[in-house]
Amino acid sequence: MRQTDPVSEAPTSDPVIRTSGLRKVFRSPGQRAVVAVDGLDLTVAAGTVHGFLGPNGSGKTTTIRLLLGLARPTAGSIELFGQRVPAHLSAVVDRLGATVEEPAFTPGFTGRRNLMLLARTAGLPRRRVDEVLEQVGLRRHDRRRFGRYSLGMKQRLALAAALLRSPDLLILDEPGNGLDPAGVRDLRELVRSLADGGTTVLLSSHNLAEVQQICDDVSILSGGRLLATGPVDALIGERLSRTRVRVGEPDRAAEVLRAAGYEVSHDADALLVGGHEHPEDVTRILAGHDLFVGELSAVRPDLESYFLQLTGHPMTGTDEDGGNR
């Protein structure tokens, strides 16, 4: 079920993205209709990094295409910066940047030349190309032909293109694909710096550990429906979840803790203890039975565990049918 207040917090200013009852149905001749997005109410506050999550085929990419005017909704409404989309997309398009599909770069041109052509079309100065190449870490490779770029370098160039107009809203669909760990770290730092500077970022990603580090809020979809939305810490819980205990007699320790009303399960040669507020309560009870703890560590909830519990699906791969749903 969708989670509501107090998990969800009202934005302090008008949202940059607002959808209401958004629905998209795909129909093919001779085939049954496929509901890709079903009654989606999405709100993204200004100046935040908003994670957009869901298992394969959940409707994330379809929603992003609807936001960008690349597809038309079957029902419902979309507002970007208070303007109805797609009817008034032209009024806000210059404030948008996005990486959502295979970039239409010319393979035989260098990365720099591809960006120069885009900048010239948009009436932007040459220095803006230098700035975005520096931002995404491609200055050393800007003279290489695009066709010889690795997947990670192509992702960086697509991000550079999205940043050319200094957008107020940046929509990123799996921007970390093909990036090595250093590239993922650079992306995280770039996105946070953009948000700190006032840019709103909608980030679709399968890397839940990164989402937990980088995002202020998240929305989780499954089957085209919104299951939960709100601040990351509020969704997964800030309080201690369980304590991992290593003790000399784990079986007897488990009996003692269960008798005290705690939830206990085995984790290899340790115990996972739940149902308590403070880890020291565990050590005190065990010590009272001459059981002395050799190791004690907090096991806190994470976004991946919450996601799996909520959807019943692991977060792997990309959307089905090429990411169009």
> pLDDT tens digits for 183-212?
899 999 999 999 999 999 999 988 888 898
Between 196 and 301, name the one with better pLDDT.
196
DSSP 159-197: HHHHHTT--SEEEEESTTTT--HHHHHHHHHHHHHHHHT
263 forms beta bridges with 274
**What pLDDT is attached to residue 195?**
94
With beta carbons less than 8 A apart as the criterion, state whether 296 and 283 touch. yes
pLDDT at 172: 95
> What is the distance between the alpha carbons of residues 306 and 19, in angstroms, rounded to a whole number?
24
Nearest to 299 by CA among 227, 260, 244, 253: 244
Which residues have a Cβ under 8 Å from the Cβ of 193 and sit 6 or more positions away?
none
Find the helix or strand (DSSP H, E) in which 113 lies.
Answer: helix 111-121
> In the predicted model, is pLDDT for residue 103 greater than 80?
no
2 confidence band (pLDDT: 50, 70, 90): very low
The more confident residue out of 69 and 311 is 69
Q: Does a cis peptide bond (omega within 30 degrees of 0) precede residue 6?
A: yes
Question: Could you give the percent of the chain with pLDDT greater than 70?
Answer: 89
CA 6 to chain centre: 21
Lowest mean pLDDT among 35-39, 146-150, 244-248: 244-248
Instruction: Tell how strand 217-222 and strand 49-53 pair up.
Output: parallel
pLDDT exceeds cutoff 70 at 157: yes
pLDDT tens per residue, range 48-81: 999 999 988 899 999 999 999 999 999 999 999 9
Predicted local distance difference test score (pLDDT) of residue 317: 53
> How many CB atoms are located within 10 Å of the residue 231 CB?
16
Per the document, the length of the chain is 325
At residue 307 the predicted structure's pLDDT band, cuts being 50, 70 and 90, is confident
For residue 67, the SS3 value is helix
Contact 198, 224 (CB under 8 A): no
Q: Would the pLDDT of 19 be above 90?
A: yes
As a whole number of Å, the CA-based R_g of the chain is 24
pLDDT tens column, 25-43: 998 887 889 999 999 999 9
What percent helix, strand, coil does the chain show, rounded to 5?
35, 25, 40
Q: Give mean pLDDT, residues 292-304.
A: 81
| Residue 12 near residue 43, CB atoms below 8 Å | no
In the numeric block, which tokens belong to residue 71?
């597809």
Per-residue pLDDT at 325 exceeds 80: no
pLDDT(127) > 70? yes
